[in-house]
């Protein structure tokens, strides 16, 4: 028995889950000192959708955010989420981009890189892992947790052993949909602890209302670290509330011994921000509702709301249940991919199309076709020949590592943005999100001049001062 460690998600997954990743750096920094003194094991502050949102919606440099947070957190490890070969985007990037991105992430302040692949295909993790170890970071590999006829405890135990053998420093069970049941978690952790020697972290969402119970059983079974979010940004589609979990473990051998007085002060700060977000319409109170449908359909909370929005836009809200029923069928057709980015978006969109078109796979996205062709990685189980035929006809399926098809891109990107580069990291922003980054670079450059503010970011007219 040992004290449990806590990773706080307020600056990454919590606001990504609840308010579309719109928290600004200047809203984080005033409370950073207090959070640094709480006693957290780590702060998850970067990665996921934060990078894109900084550039696209907030006119902020994500690298500058990371450097400021590193300066503010003198005692606490900083953690990020990386989608393996997808980095922070929605496609595979060449190996030279992957290595440079990991290198610069660590140089700018990241201690722990949590990496995952949407298909649990470890070939898509290998380069990220190698680079993290090379540049002195802690490499945590995450299991994308889902349930299917083939995703059982034996499958996850074998996957965890593979991760440890690859060189992982720790393993995270990433339960993005909030469907890991308490007694399943207990059995899984006990079996993992018998065969692997590295720490195990549990990450779950409160969407279905069971994450607190899951955490408790996982802790009792031997889990080392849990992910929580300070209460104003906890629960709902986010993680279990930090203060509640800390209090639940009080007087037990697992007591994390965090400073509760500081946690209460931090919660008060975030209560004020939460009220502001609600007034601005960024945070919808409904997102805190428990939605038990996720236990049946395995659909993350954000995916549920996105599907409903798309149906409302097309005047087809009455088809919502039909789409939910179609999602598991599409998953089965496609070899049971876990519903995590980018597979959650791809499966959800295909299910929506199947229902609205009145015919299955009449309309198929480019992304689904590429997935069936093997360009995202290996499905958990082979896709049936009749489904392949319907989606890609007689096209050949690639069975190698998808990134092996990609040519180096770093030098080309440098040449394309040389007139806008102000730091080495700019080339990585551009490599991941070319047009979005270019718009930001123009905005940044325009701040040094007088601007016609009546124009959009894409239409800046710059006049020398």
For range 208-231, the mean pLDDT: 97
Residue-wise pLDDT for 395-421, tens only, equals 999 999 999 999 999 999 999 999 999
Distance from C-alpha of 354 to C-alpha of 322, rounded to nearest angstrom: 10
Higher per-residue pLDDT: 161 or 309 = 161
Strand 5-8 and strand 42-47: pairing? parallel
Q: In this predicted structure, what is the pLDDT of residue 305?
A: 66
Q: Which residues of 194-229 are buried (b: 16+ CB within 10 A; e: fewer)?
A: eebebbbbbbbbbbbbbbbebbbbbbbbbbbbbbbb
One-character DSSP codes across 131-159: HHHHTT-EEEEEEE---SSS-SHHHHHHH
Q: Which of 449, 445, 452, 443 is nearest to 465 (CA)?
A: 449
In tens, the pLDDT along 68-116 reads 999 999 999 999 999 999 999 989 999 999 999 999 999 999 999 999 9
Domain architecture of the chain: domains with CATH: 3-283 (3.20.20.70), 298-399 (1.10.472.90)
CA 128/CA 134 separation, integer angstroms: 10
Judged by phi (left if over 0) then psi (alpha if -120 to 50, else beta), residue 173 lies in beta
Summarize the confidence of residues 133-138 as an average pLDDT: 98
List all residues 6 or more positions away from 311 whose beta carbon is below 8 Å from its beta carbon: 317, 319, 320, 323, 352
pLDDT band at 453; cut points 50, 70, 90: very low
Nearest alpha-carbon partner for 300 in 94, 23, 17, 34: 17
What is the predicted pLDDT for the residue at 301? 64
Residues ≥6 apart with Cβ < 8 Å to 3: 253, 254, 255, 256, 257
pTM of the model: 0.93
- Helix/strand/coil for 354: helix
| 390 close to 383: Cβ distance less than 8 angstroms | no
Phi, psi (5° rounding) for residue 217?
-70, -35
Average pLDDT, the chain: 93
Distance CA 330, CA 338 (A): 12
22-27 CB contacts, 8 Å cutoff, 24+ apart: 22/53, 22/57, 22/58, 22/277, 22/282, 23/273, 24/58, 24/60, 25/60, 25/64, 25/65, 25/68, 25/69, 27/273
């Amino acid at each position: 028995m040992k004290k449990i460690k806590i990773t706080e998600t307020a600056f990454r997954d919590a606001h990504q889950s609840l308010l579309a990743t719109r928290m600004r750096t200047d809203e984080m920094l005033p409370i950073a000192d207090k959070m640094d003194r709480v006693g957290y094991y780590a702060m998850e502050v970067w990665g996921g959708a934060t990078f894109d949102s900084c550039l696209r919606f907030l006119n902020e440099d994500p690298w500058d955010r990371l450097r400021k947070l590193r300066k503010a957190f003198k005692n606490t490890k900083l953690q990020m989420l990386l989608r393996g070969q997808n980095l922070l985007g929605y496609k595979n990037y060449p190996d030279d981009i992957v290595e440079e991105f990991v290198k610069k992430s660590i140089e700018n302040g990241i201690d722990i890189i949590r990496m995952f692949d949407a298909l649990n295909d470890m070939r898509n993790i290998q380069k990220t892992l190698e680079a993290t170890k090379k540049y002195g970071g802690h490499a945590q590999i995450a299991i994308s947790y889902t349930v299917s006829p083939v995703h059982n405890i034996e499958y996850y135990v074998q996957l965890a052993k593979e991760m440890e053998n690859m060189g992982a420093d720790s393993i995270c069970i990433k339960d993005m949909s909030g469907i890991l049941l308490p007694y399943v978690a207990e059995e899984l952790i006990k079996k993992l602890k018998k065969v692997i020697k590295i720490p195990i972290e549990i990450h779950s969402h409160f969407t279905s209302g069971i994450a607190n119970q899951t955490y408790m059983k996982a802790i009792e079974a031997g889990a080392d670290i849990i992910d929580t979010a300070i209460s104003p940004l906890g629960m709902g589609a986010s993680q279990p509330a930090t203060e509640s979990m800390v209090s639940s473990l009080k007087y037990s051998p697992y007591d994390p011994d965090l400073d509760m007085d500081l946690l209460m002060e931090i919660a008060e700060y975030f209560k004020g921000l939460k009220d502001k977000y609600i007034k601005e319409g960024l945070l919808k109170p409904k997102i805190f509702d428990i939605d038990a449908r996720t236990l049946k359909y395995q659909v993350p909370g954000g995916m549920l709301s996105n599907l409903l929005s798309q149906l409302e836009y097309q005047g087809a809200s009455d088809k919502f249940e039909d789409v939910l029923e179609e999602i598991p069928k599409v998953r089965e057709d496609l070899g049971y991919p876990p519903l995590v980015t980018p597979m959650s978006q791809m499966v959800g969109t295909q299910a929506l199309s199947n229902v609205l078109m009145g015919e299955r796979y009449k309309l198929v996205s480019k992304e689904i076709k590429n997935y069936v062709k093997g360009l995202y990685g290996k499905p958990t189980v082979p896709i049936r020949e009749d489904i392949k035929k319907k989606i890609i006809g007689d096209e050949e399926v690639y069975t190698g590592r998808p990134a092996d098809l990609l040519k180096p891109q770093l030098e080309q990107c440098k040449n394309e943005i040389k007139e806008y580069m102000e730091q080495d990291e700019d080339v990585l922003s551009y490599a991941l999100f070319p047009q979005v980054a270019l718009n930001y670079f123009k905005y940044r450059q325009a701040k040094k001049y007088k601007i016609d503010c009546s124009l959009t970011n894409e239409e800046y007219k710059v006049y020398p001062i």
